[in-house]
Chain A
């Protein structure tokens, strides 16, 4: 199986999480980076597809993530598309891993629906001041 595209999506997810983790660190904030990434995507994607549209995408991604990491069972997607309960997950190592899985599923769904170029454009809209490394994402990482 060619896992290149999947790995490229995971790389992009990790890149976004790292960006937000670094920002949280520099601002002394304690907001979870996964929540930050989802929030930034929510703001941009809601404008594009509506709040309900984003909420349904994130719900799908969360359901997939919960199937892999059951300790997220208490996490929900609110009707406005925000994530509820993610920062209260007790199993911190699992939560750390879950962030990358959740964002990967969300980005993967976008890629499935509208393709890589459009997904990347939406991501760039969400992080307008950041130079997102997109080469691997667009070309697919060799497995």
Chain B
């Protein structure tokens, strides 16, 4: 069979941001689907969002309610969502209650009633909420074959009438196996609501979807006034893997440091600025952003530890004006502080602005703050999430600079506690060093994936004008340990040991 002979399965938009991407383009038309999950996980809201996005007078929606949430209460609550359009109830969404029928009759009668309504209305979408009560009825009668026959009959009939169907049911994961309902279904959408310490985390999985490739795995979602919003693990970049071809060097706003980095930061790189508290990581990040703005590049700063106003105010103490570019829409300071945040949500928020404003520079200040803002459940996946986030942003051509606080060690030079150095193209390490009874600051470019860089260890100061890079620190050994000694101590000692070569 040639490619053009194959039937084309049209994809219906779900009306849920991000979900079409997860499904591989949308809902397969005429598919028979199950939306499963525990009470309160958002099954009814998801179904409503889908029906309001698709109902038309020509292909209306039939919504059957069965011994679950009464339709009256359902509509009372659902109309609070922004997607709820009362005009559609007038013209193209019909609610039909089957409770009495289920209570008083067998499944054949229920099937007959559904078929009768479907034939009368010719719906584009049919929903049965909650289907679980129908299943319970069958199980109470002890006739599993009747249930299987009912589901089979329902699926066949609704597909024949070219309706896309959703059965909503309260299921737990253990019920997945040997379930006749799941066997018949073309699509199985599982919604989870997990309590992790003090946070609630909502996740969605497409357990099964016939006819098209969906994005596997668990995807975070949130329910707001707008309804469900899903955050695909692919961040909407499925299939797009090529890194930007723009490899020009970007100035970080500090001439001497640009020189140390071989001419600046290669565009599209991920830069990690690591150092202990007070070494100027945020100042450096602000200078990097300000330089981009100066050259006409829009930017985003994601802050977690202080509010945008405070951030901009602090920048102004270094003579950097972040207020004006914010007003002009060139700079977006995103304050992300909810404690049940997921990385995917944050990245979605950043990506939306990147796409809308053609942003070229992004600062994450800081990774520690970012981690703290996440729900405990997401913290365990933080490293993997960072990997996806950095990959996504840099593939978009964005140069991303992340700051990370490190606990100073006086024996080695740790880069970060997240073991994420391999994710970063370039690493700049700031640290304190004790010299002659004074705490001084030094920096070193540890890594530049894009090419050569200075290996010098330079002293620097944070002044009212920002970073001022000093000379190379010479005459000391063990600078990276933070407690250096003068080279001449070794020279003197070597002189005292016969046979030892003098170090010059």
Contact of B79 with A114 in the complex, beta carbons under 8 Å: yes
Q: Report the tally of A-B residue pairs with Cβ distances under 8 A.
A: 49
Q: How many residues of B contact A (CB 8 A)?
A: 17
Alpha-carbon distance between A50 and B65 when the two chains are bound, in angstroms: 9
8 Å CB interface, B47-101 against A: 65, 70-73, 75-76, 79, 86-87, 89-90, 95-97, 99-100
- A94 interface hit (Cβ, 8 Å): no
On whether the beta carbons of A50 and B97 are closer than 8 Å, the reply is: yes
Q: How far is the CA of A51 from the CA of B104 in the complex (A)?
A: 12
Interface of A: prevailing SS: helix
Is A118 a contact partner of B70 (Cβ separation < 8 A)? Answer: no
User: What is the CB-to-nearest-CB distance from A41 to chain B, in angstroms, rounded to a whole number?
Assistant: 13
Enumerate chain B residues within 8 angstroms of A115, measured Cβ to Cβ.
76, 79, 86
Q: Determine if B75 and A114 form an interchain contact, defined as CB atoms under 8 angstroms apart.
A: yes
Of B95, B96, B100, which contacts A51 at CB under 8 A? B100
How far is A22 from B27 in the complex, measured between Cα atoms in Å? 50
Cα–Cα, bound, A116→B100 (Å): 27
Docked complex Cα distance between A50 and B73 (Å)? 12
B71: contacting residue among A49, A57, A117, CB under 8 A:
A49
Question: Of all chain A residues, which has the CB nearest B73?
Answer: A113
Whether A140 is near chain B, meaning CB under 8 Å from some CB there, is no
Partner of A53, one of B70, B76, B87, B90: B70
For residue A46, CB closer than 8 A to chain B, the reply is yes
- Which residues of A in the span 104-124 have a Cβ within 8 Å of any Cβ on B? 113-115, 117-118, 121, 124
Query: Is A48's CB under 8 angstroms from B96's CB?
Result: yes
Q: Are B79 and A52 in contact (CB under 8 A)?
A: no
Q: Is A47 an interface residue (CB 8 A)?
A: yes
Specify which chain A residues have a CB less than 8 angstroms from the CB of B95 in the assembled complex: 48
Q: How large is the interface on A (under 10, 10 to 19, 20 to 34, 35 or more residues)?
A: 10 to 19
Q: Which residues of A contact B75 (CB under 8 A)?
A: 114, 118
| A52 close to B71 (CB less than 8 A) | no
Contact with A along B238-272 (1 / 0, CB 8 A): 00000000000000000000000000000000000
Distance in Å: Cβ of B397 to nearest Cβ of chain A: 47
Minimal Cβ-Cβ distance residue in A for B72: A49
- Find the B residue at minimum CB distance from A46: B97
| Shortest CB distance B222–A (Å) | 26
Does B100 contact A114, Cβ atoms closer than 8 Å? no
A residues within 8 A CB of B76?
113-115
Q: Once bound together, how far apart are the Cα atoms of A48 and B96, in whole Å?
A: 5
Instruction: Give CA–CA (A61, B219) in the complex, Å.
Output: 47
Q: Name the contact of A121 in the complex, choosing from B71, B89, B99 (C-beta under 8 A).
A: B89
Q: Is the CB of A121 within 8 A of B72?
A: no
For A48, list chain B residues within 8 Å (CB).
71-72, 95-97
- Chain B neighbourhood of A117, CB < 8 A: 86-87, 89-90
Are B97 and A118 in contact (CB-based, < 8 A)? no
User: Which residues of the other chain, B, contact A47 by a CB distance below 8 angstroms?
Assistant: 96-97
B65 surroundings in chain A (CB, below 8 A): 50
For the complex of A and B, the 8 pairs showing the least CB-CB separation, nearest first, are: A117-B86, A50-B97, A50-B99, A49-B72, A114-B75, A49-B71, A121-B90, A48-B95
Using CB atoms and an 8 Å cutoff, list the residues of chain B in contact with chain A.
65, 70-73, 75-76, 79, 86-87, 89-90, 95-97, 99-100
Given contacts A49-B71, A121-B89, 10 further A-B contacts (CB under 8 A): A47-B96, A48-B72, A49-B70, A50-B100, A51-B100, A53-B70, A57-B72, A115-B76, A117-B86, A118-B75
